[in-house]
Structure 1
Amino acid sequence: MTNFTEEQKKQETTMEKYVEVYNYTNKILDLIEKQEISTEEAEWVTRQTVDNFRDHVNPGFLSYRKSVTKDGQFAAVEWKDSGLNCFMDVNGKEYIDCLGGFGIYNVGHGHPKVKQAVFNQMNRQALHSQDLLDPLRAMLAKILADITPGDLKYAFFANSGTEAVEAALKLAKMHSDRTTFIATTRAFHGKSLGSLSGTAKGVFRKPFLPMIPGFRHVHFGDIEMMRKTMEVCAMVGEDVAAVIIEPIQGEGGVNLPPEAYLKQLRELCDQYGALLIFDEVQTGMGRTGKMFCCEHYGVVPDILCLAKAFGGGIMPAGAIVATEEVFKSFFPNPFMHTTTFGGNPLACAAAIATFNVLIEENLPARAAEMGEFMLKGLREAADEHGDKVLEIRGMGLLIGIEFHNDEIGYEVSKGLFDKGILVAGTLINAKTIRIEPPLTITIEQAERVIAEFRNVLAQIRV
């Protein structure tokens, strides 16, 4: 009788929890449905967000985010898009997005054509059975074969940049019996264990050592160090399977390679029989002024990694594209590397629509034009502040502003944020903040960013 009573109490407690969660989810769903919310509702959302980040997500974010007050009681909580190039917080303040979700909003926030493609596909079929052939995956693979440079031909789809890098590394391993990989200093390739082995920042790596064996790092842009490393690897019987590199480093601080570096790297890989993997997760999809950054340098990799903007700012999506010679390693058993959600119909619809928009609106060329305009304006604004700004560099609308120390970079980021402009530092090089707006940013918005940057620099004391 006692056990029965205890079991009843457990069931009652469980039902009470279910009722509580059900009511909570109803309240959230009602808020999601609304186009506008009241002041009281905005306060509830803010309080819930701060409390739940502290208690259930990670309290570290509350001390990291520049939008959170020092006592942690108030935060600018992101709520909705506001046109292609802006978003609003829950209290209705608008921000020009110069972070672009770390590069996902190349075609803007909620581009109507991408959004409609996803809605249309969702109304037809959101996910697929996994057993029949799914048409959009096949069609998107053809688009990638047609639009990527050189003889890249076969595609594998993933959900993120990290997953794309993992697929590239596994494909490179299957292509040969080699196990040595070379990456570069200040590289960022992701944080899963394989991709983290290529990432360069020690603070991300140390807690998870040892990494996947066989990875070496050389200085980015130093072709002689790369040459000697590959030579030594060959001499000691540890021939290089692949070199993985970002054509322009994003998280490393928007670092451009020396002019001939990537061509020389291609020649070195050919000489030593190594594959060349370009991680274009951040630089691809028109960001640097061409559809793919490698086109600026006239170099075709053996494997190309894509993600971030690949899903049009609507869906998480990633991909690798490889030559037939390399990809055929996956032919005998296509189940050697798989993913449940990679290449799902919604993500493929978003990616197909994204390429359509990039071409229709000529956004790669627009990135080149607007990037030149913003680089010139930002450099002019920094002319009298050499004690604060070390360098402004970039290509297209991937721009880095490097300061003399982290503290100046944070103060500039915070000052711009207070003025309604979102920028952020880079994960590997904290002294550098990025300017990475949607490729649809207007001249007027760009002028405002430049003007506020000038104003904020003038107010900072070093």
Structure 2
Amino acid sequence: MLTTRQLFLLNTAQTSSFPRSLEVERAEGMYLYDPSGNRYMDLVSGFAVSNTGHRHPKVVEAIKDQVDKYLHLTVYGEFIQSPQVRFAEKLASVLPESLHSVYFVNSGTEATEGAMKLAKRFTGRSNILACNNSYHGSTQGALSIMGNEYYKRAYRPLLPGIGFIQFNVLTDLDSITKKTAAVVVETIQGEAGVRVPELRYMQQLRKRCDETGALLILDEIQTGFGRTGTLFGFEQFGIIPDILLLAKGMGGGMPIGAFISSHKIMDALKENPILGHITTFGGHPVSCAAGLANLQVILDENLMSDVPVKEKLFRKLLHDPRIKEVRGKGLMLSIQLDSFEQVERVSKRCLENGIIIDWFLHCDTALRIAPPLIITENEIIDACKVITEAILTEIDR
């Protein structure tokens, strides 16, 4: 009989020739457990998904409660479904007044796709700008605005009318013109290795969009739901996007995303043509129930309040001459090393010692730290001890 790992390689489509192949039997809080009972501390959170930890009891309870009522009913937007209504209401209550129309989808990539269509439809323009080293998803439209040619060249031709600017470079903002439908920007660049922009850049970006009539689309797919120390990253820059993209940490582990705007903008999808954007499973009632519970946990348990303190502790404990830099904001950090070989060896050593850590799509010389917000100071100390020992062992060998 074939093992589960053999079946994984045989029947499950692979995305690389070297998957981690860690078999997980269960997960709880900060930890994953393999079939042998070995425990692994998750410093990646399923890539910024499990902000409230794995299987938070209140999220699980909300899922079970909704499963007993109904699952999928019809395509999004036709029936009144309480989980969607309540979650949208809650999101609107914690967002600026202009962000009150929520379109639920299944993922961050779908949120990107919907926002790109909405911007074109509302402005009547076709040109879209994104940033070099950006990542907004992997479908055809989202791939078109990915700022790394390595991942795109095999799939060309992609969408026309796409241009790129340098992230955090003020002079490049002149590229935004009255022909620009939208500028799509990550509030903090994630896959570029966690690059935090300057306050002035973000404010000038907002100003330039206002001057030209271009819509500002902020991608908060990784930064949302408390990861940076505020509920949404844009709050730290004193700006408000025209369209906000959410996913990952939104559903407490369930698949869900959203693009959010004003009714004035969002209503452009209602006519000429009607059904301007359609999704069958977007806003699935179980995912919305989980998302509402997840957001309520973040607020009720005040998980954001000590994120800055935890960031400082990580920075303090990762002070090592072999580390070039620790970048980021809150619990969205990167450890810069010299090479991918070092990153690969260190991450493998960490896994062998019970710590899950990873790297970045556009920056494979840095290690990713994005643990659940529930991580304790003692867990940070334990994790950093393993990381620094791995760096010492693998870089100096």
TM-score, normalised to structure 2, is: 0.95
**Could you say which residue in structure 1 is the equivalent of 2:328?**
394
- Residue pair 1:150, 1:300 contacting (<8 A) in 2 also: no
Which residue is equivalent to 1:182?
Answer: 129
Q: Secondary structure at the match of 2:141?
A: helix
Instruction: Tell which structure's C-alpha radius of gyration is larger.
Output: 1
Output the CA distance in 1 between the equivalents of 2:362 and 2:3: 31
% identity of equivalent residues? 34
> 1:8-47, aligned counterparts within 5 Å?
47=2
The equivalent residue for 1:113 is 58
The one-letter code sitting in structure 2 at the alignment partner of 1:451 is K
Q: In the alignment, does 2:141 pair up with 1:194?
A: yes
| 1:343 partner SS | coil
Give the match for residue 23 of structure 2: 77
Would you say the 8 A contact 1:249–1:255 is kept in 2? Answer: yes
Whole-Å separation in 2 of the counterparts to 1:50 and 1:428: 28
Q: Any stretches of 5+ residues in structure 2 without a counterpart?
A: none
Where 1:356 maps in the other structure, the secondary structure is: helix
Q: Distance in 2 between matches of 1:164 and 1:198?
A: 13
Other-structure match for 1:20: none
* Paired AA for residue 301 in structure 1: P
User: What's the offset of the Cα at 1:334?
Assistant: 5.5
Which residue of structure 1 aligns with residue 101 of structure 2? 154
Of residues 284, 309, 323 in structure 2, which corresponds to 1:344? 284
| Higher-helix-fraction structure | 1
> What 5-or-longer segments of structure 1 have no aligned partner?
1-43, 68-74
> How far did 1:145 drift?
1.4
Question: 1:317 and 2:256 equivalent?
Answer: yes
| 1:447 positional shift | 0.4
**Structure 1 residues 396-417: Cα deviation after superposition (integer angstroms, max 9, x where no partner):** 1000111111111111111111
What is residue 211 of structure 1 aligned with on the other side? 158
CA contact (8 A) 1:160 1:307 kept: yes
Residues 1:128 and 2:73 aligned together: yes
The aligned counterpart of 1:102 is 47
SS of the residue aligned with 2:328? strand
For the residues of structure 1 that align with 2:241 and 2:176, how far apart are their CA atoms? 17
Amino acid at match of 1:268: R
Q: CA deviation at 1:230?
A: 2.1
1:396-415 equivalences under 5 Å are: 396-415=330-349
Q: CA deviation at 1:150?
A: 4.4
Q: Would you say the 8 A contact 1:144–1:321 is kept in 2?
A: no
Report 1 or 2 for greater relative contact order, CA contacts < 8 Å, sequence distance ≥ 6.
Answer: 2
Query: In structure 2, how many angstroms separate the alpha carbons of the residues matched to 1:420 and 1:358?
Result: 26
Q: What displacement does 1:112 show?
A: 0.5
Give, as a single letter, the amino acid of the residue that structure 2 aligns with 1:256. Answer: V
Using structure 1 for the length normalisation, give the TM-score.
0.82
- CA deviation profile, 1:191-220 (whole Å, cap 9, x unmatched): 000111111122221111111111111111
- 2:202 corresponds to which residue? 262
Q: Distance in 2 between matches of 1:361 and 1:183?
A: 36
What amino acid maps onto 2:11 in structure 1? Answer: H
Post-superposition Cα deviations, 1:272-311, rounded to whole Å, max 9, x if no partner, equal: 1100000100000111000000001111000000001111
1:230 aligns with 2:204: no
Q: 1:265 to 1:60 in 2, by over 3 A?
A: closer
Q: Deviations over 1:14-68 (max 9, x none)?
A: xxxxxxxxxxxxxxxxxxxxxxxxxxxxxx7xx533322332224664x423x4x
Q: Is the 8 A contact 1:375 1:399 kept in 2?
A: no
